[in-house]
Amino acid sequence: MLPLRRLSAACRRRGLAQFATGIPREAADAVVVGAGAVGLAVARALAMAGRDVVMVEAASSFGTGTSSRNSEVIHAGIYYPPRSLKANLCVRGREMLYKYCTERAIPHKRLGKLIVATGVAETAKLDMLLKSAKDNGVDDLQMMEGSQAMEMEPELRCLKALLSPSTGIVDSHSFMLSLLADAENLGATISYNTAVISGRVGDEGIELHISESKELENHSIGSPVLPQIVLLPKLLINAAGLSAIPLAKRLDGLAQAFVPPAYYARGCYFTLSQTKSPFSHLIYPLPEDGGIGVHVTLDLNGLVKFGPDVEWLDGKMDDMSCFLNRFDYSVNPTRCSGFYSVIRKYFPNLKDCSLEPGYSGIRPKLSGPGQRPSDFVIQGGCPQYSWAG
């Protein structure tokens, strides 16, 4: 029970502990649920503003979910609808992120990205993408003929390409570690292996019912899950990633109008077995339904990965998976068969049997198959409760 003891001790140091019905009830100023990139950044910002911050994370460490299972790309703001939160925050945040990484010596590199049209029908879409990006304030893009792009990248094949010099890559673990250090240096407390099993929101405030994750290992489905601690925060930030919407549904008294529908898409990555990278830039096809296409990403060691694809998952995230931070991140090796044909549209020299299973991530999404992409939801309709992400 070390995580909960630390959590309890942190509240007691502030003179906030109460006891009722045998379960400690402990007041807190600001509670952030989820210690991924968003949760850590929010915790840091709250701590910088002088709030007493407690972070609770179901996993045994920070950033083990969506924040570490992605392409690690710093995006320029190209794809998003004009005047959307995604567009505005990406364009502003891109330079803030580069500045932060430089100041903190976080490994990163402004590699640049080529978005490519490989067929005649795609060139008009590339023109539309350029216009949309300019409307978003992305003002450094360059449209290139295929010959120019292929001169930059001899292994590339395309009819036309859009160069984004502001796109880059970052070491996501180092970035999150820096956010965590900032937050903790400002007095924030984090409790790992700690699950929010239920709670309520009402006129009298917020209750969060907390249990240590390992205590739920052998829980019988259908029997009640009892808390070990009840937290009473003045402010609650739900940045729980894959678990964010299931958590919202477990909060009694939170109006369903504040709980959007959830969709989940698993994306697999495959790595290139050859040691020498065929590309020096990131290479992206045009966006597809549910994602931005199976693209080429380089890591800071120059290794190449392709992905992610889009596999829509049926059903919802069950509560016990959220409590124990157990999600299916397996990579089916047979999925690589679909990768070869897609990649060879822009990288025809890809050799048979050169792709190896890498890793996968699950994207929590607010729009499903065939639907228009949704904007971020960052809301606080309940005065003490907010989404982040």
Residues 274 and 234 placed together within one structural domain of the fold: no
Q: Which of 62, 257, 328, 281 is nearest to 150 (CA)?
A: 281
8 and 24 together in one domain: yes
Residue 114 has pLDDT above 60, yes or no: yes
Same domain, 226 and 237: yes
pLDDT exceeds 60 at position 382 = no
pTM exceeding 0.85: yes
pLDDT of residue 181 exceeding 60: yes
Residue 308 and residue 270 share a domain: yes
| 15 pLDDT higher than 90 | no
Q: Per residue in 29-69, pLDDT tens?
A: 999 999 999 999 999 999 999 999 999 999 999 999 999 99
381 and 349 housed in the same domain: no
pLDDT tens per residue, range 122-166:
999 999 999 999 999 999 999 999 999 999 999 999 999 999 999
Query: For strand 282-284 and strand 113-117, is the pairing parallel, antiparallel, or unpaired?
Result: parallel
Residues 225 and 212: beta-carbon distance below 8 Å? no
For residues 336 and 266, state if they share a domain. Answer: yes
Residues 318 and 335 in one domain: yes
Residues 248 and 178 in one domain: yes
Number of structural domains the chain divides into = 2
CATH of residue 60's domain is 3.50.50.60
Is 119 found in the same domain as 197? no
83 within some domain: no
Q: Supply the pLDDT for residue 213.
A: 82
Antiparallel, parallel or unpaired: β 229-238 and 205-212: antiparallel
Statement to judge: residues 330 and 266 lie in one domain: yes
379 band by pLDDT with thresholds 50, 70 and 90? confident
The chain-wide mean pLDDT, for the chain, equals 89
Residue-wise pLDDT for 268-309, tens only, equals 999 998 778 999 999 999 987 667 889 999 999 889 999 999
| Structure-block tokens of residue 8 | 């309890």
- Among 17-21, 318-322, 349-353, which range has the highest average pLDDT? 349-353
Are 163 and 267 found together in one domain? Answer: yes
- Does the pLDDT value for residue 18 go beyond 60? no
Instruction: State pLDDT tens for residues 221-279.
Output: 666 778 899 999 999 999 999 999 999 999 999 988 888 888 999 999 999 987 789 99
User: Which residue range(s) make up the domain with 324?
Assistant: 113-167+262-365
